[in-house]
Amino acid sequence: MGLDIRLPIGLMFSILGLLLTCFGLLGDQTIYSRSLGINVNLWWGLVMLAFGVVMLALARRGTATMRLAEESPEGQKIETMEHEVGLEVETYDRD
SS3 state at 33: helix
pLDDT at 75: 76
- One pLDDT digit (tens) per residue for the chain, 95 residues: 467 788 899 999 999 999 999 999 998 888 888 888 889 999 999 999 999 999 999 988 766 555 666 677 777 788 888 878 877 666 655 55
**Residue 12, CA distances (Å) to 18, 40, 48 in order:** 10, 19, 9
Residue 63's pLDDT is what? 60
CA–CA separation, 73 and 79 (whole Å): 10
